[in-house]
Amino acid sequence: MAEKARGPRPPRPEAPRDEAADIGVEARLAAGVLLNAALEGRGGMDSAQTFREIAALPAPDRAFARAVAMAALRRLGEIDQILDRRLNKAPPLPVRTILRIALAQTLVLETPAFAAVSTAVKLAERDPKTRPYKNLVNAVLRGVGRDGPGLTTAESNLPDWIAARWKATWGEQGLIALALVAREEPPTDLSLKPDADAQALATAVDGEVLPGGTVRTGRRGDVASWPGFEDGSWWVQDAAAAVPARLLAPKAGESIIDLCAAPGGKTLQLAASGAEVVALDRSDSRLKRLRANLERTGLSAEVVAVPAEDWEDDRTFDAVLLDAPCTATGTFRRNPEVLRATKPADVAKLADVQHRLLDAAAERVKPGGRLVYCVCSMEREEGETQIIAFLRRNPAFRTVAAVPAEVGAPDEALTPEGWLRILPSMWTDKGGVDGFFVARLDRVS
């Protein structure tokens, strides 16, 4: 039996109705559009930003709509558990969306219940398809407000097939720990140029310095307005995502290639070391952000838009970093939609891509050089299994054991083989971390 996790806190007592209750209907509509777009496929929420219902809103309302949609997505299983206890039969999806959005506001974001209920009823009234259900919407939401949400299971927020995989790999307690992390909005992590003062930045953004030098902050809003952004002294990058480049140990003057480089945080780390860096990615559009960050930070790299397997340049390098395309299931803290968008067949499909890219990467490593392979995936087929098979195919490479303290990784991430398996449930006292698998392989001279 799965361990029970108490549901989100009950809504605040209903306040007297006032004009505030009539504000924000369009933003709530936009939140529903974003939520459903996220449930329909990978990248759906980002694509939906261009929809009329979202694009026409003022910036604060767009931010609110996204916050509500993300809260609903992170707690979707729990919200549906609460609703299913109060619904005799499943309502049409537009009605369920209204209810989901309202409960995300009251139970997660602590929006005053009177405002959430009022706008939910108004949303139901405005559409002929949902209008017959406005009394149901009102009754369900007021019932939750009166009685509280009851007990829910954090694991219900995960798709069944993913929960089963993670339970088989890390056990029931490991699954519960991951599920609890998945419920929470993560902090923001910043990587710094070597000459930047991490403690000063941490003070300026009300944050802390993590092992490895990453600055973590709970600050929200437009990062372009934060101290040091215009100076180019830092860039946004999860603490776990900063580990692979540190494990590669770049040195000034070395030749290094970052394969599958976009969006570019690792390229910036390598360039900041003084190495001569080639950043290669198949997507020219995704490289735009990297080019912009190189310009902002004053760092330099040769940027090439071409698939790694098709690059005809015959250069080899002192060091190669391969952050391979993957299911990205380890990024669920920041991208909760990835768990809904990923399908079981994607794991095997992407494992084949990783196999080919690893062999292509190996050919770029000079004798005596080094290769770091990483994926932001929780699935063993994309991490451990890839390296076991690669070492069998490539006897010229050997594992170099990571030292977690030297690369800013949790101590418990070190595997018996010397690789790093970073779980989002590590560093929970600091706010968690993205899931990553990282391995360093040196080519025998």
The closest of 205, 74, 91 to 139, measured between CA atoms, is 91
Set 260, 326, 374, 376: catalytic member: 376
Q: Give CA–CA dist 165/194, Å, rounded.
A: 40
What single string gives the DSSP state of each residue in 13-43? PPPPP-GGGGS-HHHHHHHHHHHHHHHHSTT
Angle subtended at Cα 382 by Cα 173 and Cα 357, rounded to the nearest 5 degrees: 165
Residue with tokens 């409960």: 103
In Å, how far are 39, 127, 131, 428 from 89, measured between CA atoms? 21, 21, 17, 38
Residue with tokens 């098979």: 389
Q: In what order do the strands lie in the sheet with 234-236?
A: 207-209, 215-217, 188-192, 234-236
Question: In this structure, are residues 99 and 140 in contact, taking their beta carbons and an 8 Å threshold?
Answer: yes
What single string gives the DSSP state of each residue in 171-194? HHHHHHHHHHHHTSPP-EEEEE-T
Q: Give CA–CA dist 331/317, Å, rounded.
A: 29
CA dihedral sign of residues 401, 378, 107, 115? positive
CB atoms within 10 A of CB 29: 22
3-state secondary structure of 334: coil
Q: Give CA–CA dist 231/192, Å, rounded.
A: 11
Residue with tokens 């949303």: 123
Phi, psi at 326, each rounded to 5°: -155, 180
Biggest alpha carbon distance in the chain? 76
3-state secondary structure of 170: helix
**Known catalytic residue at 376:** yes
3-state secondary structure of 317: strand
- Catalytically active residues are 376
